[in-house]
Amino acid sequence: MALIDIENLEVTFGSRGHVVHALRGVSLSVEEGESFGIVGESGSGKSTVLRAACGLAPVSGGRILIDGVPVATPRDAAFYRRVQMVFQDPYASLHPRHTIDRVLSEPLAIHGFDRREARVEQALVEVGLGAGFRFRYPHQLSGGQRQRVAIARALILEPKVILLDEPTSALDASIQAEVLNLLDRLRAERGLTYVLVSHDLAVVSHMCERLMVMQNGQVVEQLTRQALQDHATTKDYTRNLLTASEGFTRSPVPHS
């Protein structure tokens, strides 16, 4: 049984006068420990899949299951202990007037964790920052450092699933490689399961064993990493994405 199952997911925005079908019958399954990618153009619905999974977009049809159990609406505390999300923009996802210590301590307090100070320091060490960053504010950090804090916040509740919404697209290319390698290492060390949304096929090819291609809120096809690298696609849309990316795609991200 897959750890994550999404069955015929439908998301609709708007009123009767103007309705947008953001997702149309999207289905996918992700095994425990797997890194699964979702790719597509802007507006394809790929980020909406993650937002619907974590309760931030209204589901109008279909089911989302974790370990075979449908998730509750609204999501309960147990869900957020198991599933956390890292957002695209590290400049927007951290409260500007909260210290990093408060950013990381609040989830621990809400969920009743003990040893909060030690857990905060450990989380900062794990993402390559160190305890010296505890009492800084977000404006005192670089974009890459802020995204490391966002990853630490996602990990501090010891979840099994991390939803990654374009986690490096707002960062410089050199910093992107560092953050991707960090995410790779953390998945290996903790046995995490990732669902990664990206428009960058090089990132998905580096990070994910399998991927799903989306267009206009629908699934175009699903591929293995090897099929993507071999250009062994069955749909013209995917071939066009590959062709469009070739002039701009970086070589695979080097491991540090």
Residue 255 falls inside a structural domain = no
pLDDT band at 93 (very low <50, low <70, confident <90, very high): confident
* Strands (DSSP E) found in the chain: 4-15, 18-30, 35-39, 59-66, 69-70, 83-86, 161-165, 193-197, 210-215, 218-224
With respect to residue 93, please indicate whether it lies within any of the assigned structural domains.
yes
User: What pLDDT is stored for residue 254 in this prediction?
Assistant: 53
| Mean of the per-residue pLDDT values of the chain | 92
Q: Does 174 or 214 have the greater pLDDT score?
A: 214
pLDDT in tens, 47-77: 999 999 999 999 999 999 999 999 999 999 9
Residue 251 forms part of a structural domain = no
Residue 256 lies in a domain: no
Number of domains in the chain: 1
Q: Tell me: the pLDDT tens digits for 177-205? A: 999 999 999 999 999 999 999 988 889 99
Would residue 254 count as lying in a domain? no
- Whether residue 210 is predicted with pLDDT greater than 60 in this model: the reply is yes
Structural domain containing residue 241: 4-246
115 dihedral zone (left: phi>0; alpha: psi -120 to 50; beta)? left
| Position 44 in a domain | yes
103 vs 90, residue with greater confidence: 103
What's the length of the chain?
256
Looking at the chain, the whole-number percentage of residues with pLDDT higher than 70 is: 96
Q: Residue 170: what pLDDT?
A: 83
Phi, psi dihedral angles at 194 (to 5 degrees): -115, 140
Report, as an integer, the average pLDDT of 82-91: 92
Nearest alpha-carbon partner for 24 in 2, 8, 46, 5: 8
Q: With contact defined as beta carbons under 8 Å apart, do 90 and 147 qualify?
A: yes
Q: How confident is residue 173, by pLDDT bands cut at 50, 70 and 90? A: confident
- What are the pLDDT digits (tens) for 148-158? 999 999 999 99
Residue 235: inside a domain, yes or no? yes
The CATH number of the domain holding residue 38 is 3.40.50.300
pTM, two decimal places = 0.92
- Whether residue 55 is contained in a domain is answered as yes
Residue with tokens 């070739």: 246
- The arithmetic mean of pLDDT across residues 122-144, rounded, is 96
Our measurement of the distance from residue 198's CA atom to the centroid of its chain's CA atoms, rounded to an integer in Å, reads 9
